[in-house]
Structure 1
Amino acid sequence: MKTDKIYLFLLIAVFSIQAISCNRMLDIAPENKLTREKFWQKKEDAVSAIIGTYSTLRSNQEAFLYWGEVRGELLNSIPGKGAGTDKESIDVFLIQPSNVMNKYTNFYKVINQANLVIKNIPGIVAKDPSFSTENANQIMGEAYFLRAFTYFWLARTFKEVPLILEPSESDGQNYNVIKSPFEVIMTQVLADIKLAENSLPVAYDSDVQTKGRATRYAAYAFEADVDLWLGKNQEAIAACDMVINSKQFALLTPTNLGNLFTPGNTGESIWELQYNNSLNQTHSLYTWFNNKPYFSGNPVFSLFDDPVDARIVTSITPGGSVQKYNISTNDAHWIFYRYADVILMKAEALAHLVPDNVANLSLTVKEINKIRSRAGIALIPVISNTQQADEFLLDERGRELCFEGKRWFDLVRFASRNNFAGKDMLISRIVSAVNGVDQLVIRTRVDNPESWYLPLHVDALSSNSLLVQNPYYQ
């Protein structure tokens, strides 16, 4: 327990070794030379550096929600509740380059800290005899994982962003960097994941650390996610099987589903952001979903077509408030990957391995039914084709993973396959959450696939002369 408390405390400590303020491109100050010379000397420096990187990742909580969930059809903003025009505009796809929610500064802070760890950790081995090469490789594996994960979010949100693999250390560095194509970024993401898989542990000394830090199984789950985006279905299946065959994870029983987020760190969780009100580690999810609230989750009721579904009471209240984070201390955990997600990712990969293949679709049904069985609802008898599988999968992912920052990205991934063959599916689901003339308005705003990505913020464009605005917003 003492180790857990130290770990949790470190997560809220200021990551002072990189005094982060503003530079011309990414709002990241070069690392002070004196600080650099005094730091990176011993094992404790390495540990605090990587824990600080996790802490900075947590500062992106709001973006995880708005970028990954609010743009989907399962949440509706409630105007006039104080969220503000910029945030409400995200929900109705009326997004300007000046919108504050387009800022990616904190994501690049994570990347810069990861880059610093990758560059400086090897040198500590020669300076501190207690810091082994194995220790160094593990922490570098975490840094590669976090860098990859951050770029994964940026690529899915903006499509093209600057790809920076060296730390900001000097005012003399060139901070004008062009955007890299989506495919180039994702190739780097996969390369970083592979480096992480080779050096991450399967577990740490406690459940708190095992669930809150990157493990080898978290890397496998992450890889499966990336593989699905790239159409690498066989690789996605293999990555999912690494998690499944480990026997380290299991679906919670229906009566324990509420424990996923509070108190968290369950046997179903693979990797999550941890919060603890007693240590002043909080977010605003309760305020946004339950106290104000800024959102209504009423659209999700259309997916829950069986009233005995065990997920209803742990996902949403009868009045439409989100239940998953309904704790007034604002310290419910935010889960990035859990076992149910891995099962559904495998089902998706199987369905697309060979389109309309009867044997593979049968296996897809088997995986989906694992989730439905846990929920206590009727099993799917058969799926006839891959298109039908997509509809079943999107519905099941919506029921299982609603409000967890995945919905918009799920819609885009499914819609983008085979040269946007699923575009009409995305449009129909998005407009289903609004009524009347709003359906026509929203339909025109999401008809162009380029509109599925956010614009680069005006500050990023003004500070980097080589950046070009995303096509839809030019």
Structure 2
Amino acid sequence: MKKSVKKTYLYLSLAALAALGSCTKDFLNKNPTDKISESTFWKTQTDADLALSGCYEFLCRGYNSTSSSNARGGWGGASMFWDGLSDDAFVSSTSNNFNIISRSGITSTTGGMQSEGYEISYQAIAACNKLIANIDRITSMSQQDRDRYKAEARFIRAHYYFLLTNLYGDVPLTLEPLGMDDASIRLGRTPKTNIIEAILADLDYASEKLPNTGYKGHAVRGSALGYKTKVLLTVKKWAEAAATAKIVMDENKFSIYQGGYRDLFRKPGQNNNPEIMFSARFLPPNMYSPADMMYSYLKTIQPLGYLVDSYYAIDGKDIKESTVYDAKNPYENRDPRLKSTIMYRGVWRGTTASSAFDPVAEGVLGGFLPRKYINESKWPTSYATQSDQDWVFLRYADILLMYAEAKNESAGPDQTAVDALNKVRSRADVKMPLVQFSGSLTKNEFRDIIRHERRIELALEGQRYFDLKRWGMIKEVMDKTKDPDGASRLFMARDTLWP
């Protein structure tokens, strides 16, 4: 499989300009990509804009049903599928073979996301390498502007290499456009440690050259520092991860959004949102989000009872221990994020009582659907439903939780780590009981608190699978997990890295 993927990548490295697209209507209308040629390109800032848009466009790939060129896997609006590989959700369809992967059936010929995660990533990397190598030819742009464009491309390249090495481990590393020479065609795998070094170098460059502002669609300094924190956390460089997250916190360009937890995941709440630090941005009809079509109409992802039961009661206790939990009314007196994230029986799917969700009538085996990323105004949905929700890859709540985790792992709990976690819990429409710091709080106890908070706060955002892997818990957890259809989720050690 990898050999054929490399051929695809090499072809794209030569033809990247012809593949440049956009997540935005303006670029698609201004400069048709079928009229671009190497001899006339790299002359003006308009060319640079189009090339950079081509790098960002890959973030939107995935299930855009009106365009065959975008009907591919990758991150994009399909990122909730990653939760289908964890104990948080069930993949109810054969979409991209996630259901096969989730049941330890992955092989080198599985296809779907097993191959497309590789292909899409290298297509994006090829576009980024092309821009980085050529933008200095546009002498009409200032050096500062050219450096900023390179920084955005290097950030996106780091984003994809991080995905690749998380999924496959050792992968081919190239930081320049490739040709059709023998050395390029036979490019071998690079050790994961070297991939991580290259990712961190890209993120350091990006954090130096990108503007230190809030996020409005283009990567900024905080985006790069946030990703660097996540990379360092993944490779267990705890002190460095904590220090990097602290820079983001101290520079005060982002904050916890107080306009409603649900509105982080739908428009207009996402517009200029102070918590969002990086996202795939959709603009119908040229590039629309598949959220309502996939998760509401097709019901491709169904949250599991394990996730639902993990939401505490409003007194901050597990439902098995809480005195305010009522098994006859199981969704009352619960962490408010439950109702914002999970669609359970009786929740309105649309804007009237007649749209109340009935899992039996709709054939939803586990009884739940996602509510996060769903827009009631789109109900009733269909295969043609076009949504505009941006997919959020990184937000400030994640920074705070990563800081708490890194501080705890490096030196045990302290007041700053507890305060960071409590900022997440004290969101205006959440207001869960705060963690109290005392000398008796142990590292293990605080670790459990942090991991639970990550599961709840970031539920159905494509994080749980990767968290379980980096915590070394994926096999332990998945071997105890069953899907609503009765199938077991046995996890084999070989599945830690994909073939």
Cα separation, partners in 2 of 1:22 and 1:93, compared to 1, 3 Å: closer
Indicate how the Cα distance of structure 1 residues 96 and 287 shifts in structure 2: closer, same or farther if over 3 A, else same: farther
Partner of 2:21: none
Paired AA for residue 122 in structure 2: Y
The 3-state SS of whatever aligns with 1:119 is: helix
Q: Is 1:222 equivalent to 2:227 in the alignment? A: yes
Letter in 1 for 2:9: L
What residue in structure 2 maps to residue 98 of structure 1? 109
Could you tell me which residue of structure 2 aligns to residue 427 of structure 1?
A: 475
Q: Which residue pairs with 2:153 in the alignment? A: 143
Q: SS state of the match for residue 94, structure 2? A: coil
Give the whole-Å Cα distance in 2 for the aligned partners of 1:227 and 1:310: 31
Query: Relative to structure 1, is the Cα distance of residues 281 and 436 closer, same or farther in structure 2, using a 3 angstrom cutoff?
Result: closer
Instruction: Give 1:24 deviation, angstroms.
Output: 2.3
State the distance in 2 between where 1:330 and 1:168 align. Answer: 37
Is residue 8 of structure 2 the alignment partner of residue 31 of structure 1?
no
1:317-356 residue pairs with structure 2 within 5 A? 317-319=343-345, 320-327=368-375, 328=378, 329-354=386-411
Residue identity matched to 1:414: W
Name the SS of the counterpart of 2:186 in structure 1.
coil
What's the offset of the Cα at 1:72?
1.4
Q: Determine what percentage of the aligned residue pairs are the same residue.
A: 24
CA distance 1:85–1:30, shift in 2 (3 Å): closer
Distance 1:22 1:451, change over 3 A: closer
Query: What corresponds to 1:174 in structure 2?
Result: 184
Match of 2:58 among 56, 59, 77: 56
Q: Secondary structure at the match of 1:73?
A: coil
Seen in structure 2, the aligned counterparts of structure 1 residues 67 and 150 have a Cα distance that, compared at 3 Å, is farther
- State which of 117, 121, 128 in structure 2 corresponds to 1:114: 128
Structure 1 residues 30 and 363, CA, compared in 2 at 3 Å: closer, same or farther? closer
Answering whether residue 459 of structure 2 is matched by residue 390 of structure 1, we say no
For 2:39 and 2:402, the matched residues in 1 are separated by: 45
Q: In structure 2, how many angstroms separate the alpha carbons of the residues matched to 1:334 and 1:40?
A: 30
* 1:70 CA displacement: 2.1
1:411 equivalent among 468, 490, 494: 468
Could you tell me how far 1:238 is from its partner in structure 2? Answer: 2.0
Do 1:250 and 1:268's aligned partners in 2 also have CA atoms closer than 8 Å? Answer: yes
Q: Any conservation in 1 of the 2:13–2:126 contact (CA below 8 Å)?
A: no
Instruction: Report the Cα distance in structure 1 between the residues aligned to 2:62 and 2:484, rounded to whole angstroms.
Output: 35
Counterpart Cα distance in 2 of 1:72 and 1:153: 17
Name the CA shift for 1:436/1:384 in 2 (closer, same or farther; >3 Å): farther
Q: Is the 8 A contact 1:347 1:365 kept in 2?
A: yes
Return 5+ residue gaps in structure 1 as ranges: 1-20, 416-422, 456-474
Find the aligned partners of 2:61 and 2:262 in 1 and give their Cα distance.
25
Task: Calculate the TM-score normalised by the size of structure 2.
Answer: 0.75
Read off the aligned partner of 2:280 and give its amino acid letter. L
Q: Residue 372 of structure 1 aligns to which amino acid in structure 2?
A: R
Correspondences of 1:296-311 after superposition (within 5 Å)? 296-299=302-305, 300-306=307-313, 307-311=333-337
How many Å separate the matches in 1 of 2:454 and 2:7?
A: 41
Shift of 1:408: 0.7
CA shift at 1:181, angstroms? 1.5
CA distance in structure 2 between the partners assigned to 1:454 and 1:67 by the alignment: 16
Please report how far the alpha carbon of residue 28 of structure 1 lies from its aligned counterpart in structure 2 after TM superposition: 3.1
Q: Is the 8 A contact 1:224 1:239 kept in 2?
A: yes
Deviation at 1:86, TM superposition (A): 2.1
1:94-146 CA-partner distances (Å, limit 9, x unpaired)? 21221221111111011011101111011212xx2xx1001100000011111
* Residues 60, 245 of structure 1: alpha-carbon distance in 2 compared, 3 angstrom cutoff: farther
Contact 2:91–2:300 (CA<8 Å) still a contact in 1?
Answer: yes
Amino acid at match of 1:401: L
Q: 1:174 aligns to what SS in structure 2?
A: helix
Q: Secondary structure at the match of 2:455?
A: helix
Question: What corresponds to 1:163 in structure 2?
Answer: 173
CA distance in 2, matches of 1:294, 1:67: 8
Please say which of residues 99-108 and 23-32 is displaced more in the overlay: 23-32
Equivalent-residue separation in structure 1 for 2:194 and 2:286 (angstroms) = 39
Q: Which moved more, 1:24-33 or 1:181-190?
A: 24-33
2:252 is equivalent to residue 195 of structure 1: no
State the TM-score, normalized to the length of structure 1.
0.79
Q: Following the alignment from structure 1 to structure 2, what is the Cα–Cα distance between the partners of residues 289 and 27? A: 35
Question: Can you list the C-alpha shifts for 1:393-429, whole angstroms capped at 9, x where unaligned?
Answer: 22111110111111111111122xxxxxxx4xx3343
Does the 8 Å CA contact 2:8/2:119 hold for their aligned counterparts? no
Matched, 1:370 2:384: no
Q: 3-state DSSP class of the match of 1:270?
A: strand
Q: Which residue identity lines up with residue 453 of structure 1 in the other structure?
A: L
Aligned Cα root-mean-square deviation (Å):
2.6
Which whole-Å CA distance do the structure 2 matches of 1:260 and 1:342 have between them?
Answer: 15
1:257 matched residue in structure 2: 261
How many angstroms does 1:46 deviate by? 1.0
